[in-house]
Amino acid sequence: MPMRLSVLDQSPISEGMTAADALANSVDLARFTEQLGYERYWVAEHHGTPMLACAAPEVLIAAIAARTARIRVGSGGVMLPHYSPVKVAEVFSMLAGLYGDRIDLGLGRAAGTDPMTTFALQRDRRQASPDDFPQQVAELLAYIENQMPPDHPFARLALLPGRPGHPEVWLLGSSPQSGIWAAEAGLPYAFADFISPVGAPIVARYREECSNPGVMVASTVICADTDAEAWRISASSRMAFMMMRQGQLIEVPPIDKALRYFEEEGLRHDALPAGRRAIIGAPEKVREGIEALAAEYGTDQVMIVTITYDHAARKRSYELIAEAFR
């Protein structure tokens, strides 16, 4: 089967750029990758970091869907523990009502950048919110699928504003527990290999336990005309994520600054953040890497996340990848 390529956009903020610039770049990249034939464009949710601009994926989804025509647009993902399930159902129902069957709702459980950020996002701060993610997912699906029992006190809230449109719901994850929840809920599963490159056994178990499995794998990929250039431009994001592992949150640094960091720290030019992997290189090498990753997970759906200092380099990376698979 032909490879189905999609985009995961974290709205990176480069040093010297504003967050508003980063959001404008996200809209621009969505329009560009639609022209290249990518299938989905998902935007992430991050809080309290100078490196990533999108804190409200539903807002960016609306902006992107309004400026595109074919590509599916969705969340990668909405961090459900921060929100009421009915509110999320209403928001994504409205998006589906406005933009038809192009809307995806990817759900995540990750709480936030740090415990204080998580606490700040709570409406009730008298105590920590309960850890009831499976119950939240079940309630959300009852609204979206119009399966709320008629005697339930929230039954009338299932009259969602965007009907008959509804989003396609996915569960996101990077751990064995997320695969179990996806199988129990009967949802397609998007595994974040760029966070935890150990997902093949998790996905295999999900397939065994899910009645109607669907799998997508998300990976860090950076492509350029040569291997050397790809590794050079990837230095910016590699440095930023290495610093994040040390508890230092920074904007995406310029390439020269990142290269100096690798030299001063005595790191190899191709060093990656601990516990991470990435597909980096010229088009043919990247194609081989993506095909190997897809085979490892047994899927034809690969979602690509690319962070570079220069927006033009990010666009060129997605362009070269699309051309490699034609």
Largest CA distance in the chain: 66
pLDDT of residue 113: 63
pLDDT of residue 15: 98
Q: Is 298 left (phi over 0), alpha (psi -120 to 50) or beta?
A: left
pLDDT-flagged residues of the chain (< 70): 111-113
Q: How many CB atoms lie within 10 A of CB 193?
A: 26
Distance CA 50, CA 139 (A): 33
Q: Say what the pTM is.
A: 0.96
pLDDT of residue 153: 93
β-strand partners of 73: 41, 103
What is the set of domains in the chain, with CATH numbers? 4-324 (3.20.20.30)
Buried b (16+ CB within 10 A) or exposed e, 64-89: bbeebeebbbbbbbbbbbbbebbebb
pLDDT of residue 112: 58
Question: What is the chain's Cα-based Rg?
Answer: 20
